[in-house]
Amino acid sequence: MPEGDTVHRAAQRLHDALAGSEVTRFELRVPQLATADLRGMPVHSVVARGKHLLHRIGEWTLHSHLKMEGEWRVYRRGEPWRKPAFQARAIVGTEEWDTVGFDLADIDLVPTRDEGSLVDYLGPDPLGPDWDPAEATRRLGADPRAAHVAVLDQRNVAGFGNVYANEMLFVRGILPTKPATEVDAAALLDLGARMIRANVHRAARTFTGEDRPGRRFWVYGRAGKPCRRCGTLIQEGSLGAGPTSERNVFWCPRCQV
């Protein structure tokens, strides 16, 4: 699923294809933006902010969010798409490349001077150039909710999703329901930052250090299987800030307290 590492890799691919070129094709297939046209404008950069993508084109910023199913793909101009055209929500093309956003959940187009209105609420991003571990620690450590919920709140720290939350809490030996105010937030975030930085250049995430299918996760998706450390069966439940934001939670009842 798209988490911060996936989005940052996507931003790099898009930047490599588009930056420094002039837009020759621009389509936003959403009703409120269907008439927008940035053809003829230069692409300055494509960057990630947490799980958000920002195309800076001319004096405009195209913002998109992948949510659960979205993705951006890069094709040589004229190359057949390998996903159905009806799933395309955004197209930014140059003379050499077509970049296509499929199944995007959120699309916005704002003047670049106003892009902060879309992303300034986010907490520090461990993959960003301005990563501020002290500020992220302050935000997470002041959150009285369950640690799993607090890690997922993008206002505390930007980029961690459900996979990271589960794996981070296991490695630190923290029960997912333990209040974030009662955990070592600095140590937890230092671990998470090292994990996501190690994975950002990998085709497949690994948290155990092993790169074989079925061996990459400590607890995520392993309900009913023995803990890799102690052999106790991994448990599964759900947690969320509200009924519509619950996520699957996995933990070892012996290793996490």
Please list the active-site residues: 2-3, 51, 247
User: HSE on the CB side for 149, CA within 13 Å?
Assistant: 20
Residues in the chain: 257
Cβ–Cβ under 8 Å, residues 236 and 250: yes
| Contact (Cβ atoms closer than 8 angstroms) between residue 102 and residue 121 | no
Q: Is 64 helix (H, G, I), strand (E, B) or coil?
A: strand
Q: CA angle, 67 as apex, 73 and 105 as ends, to 5°? A: 80
In this structure, the dihedral spanned by the alpha carbons of residues 230, 232, 237 and 239, taken in order and rounded to 10 degrees, is -20
CA distance 132 to 134: 6
∠247-253-257 over CA atoms, to 5°? 90
Amino acid at 235: Q
Task: Residue 3: name the closest of 115, 114, 164, 204 by CA.
Answer: 164
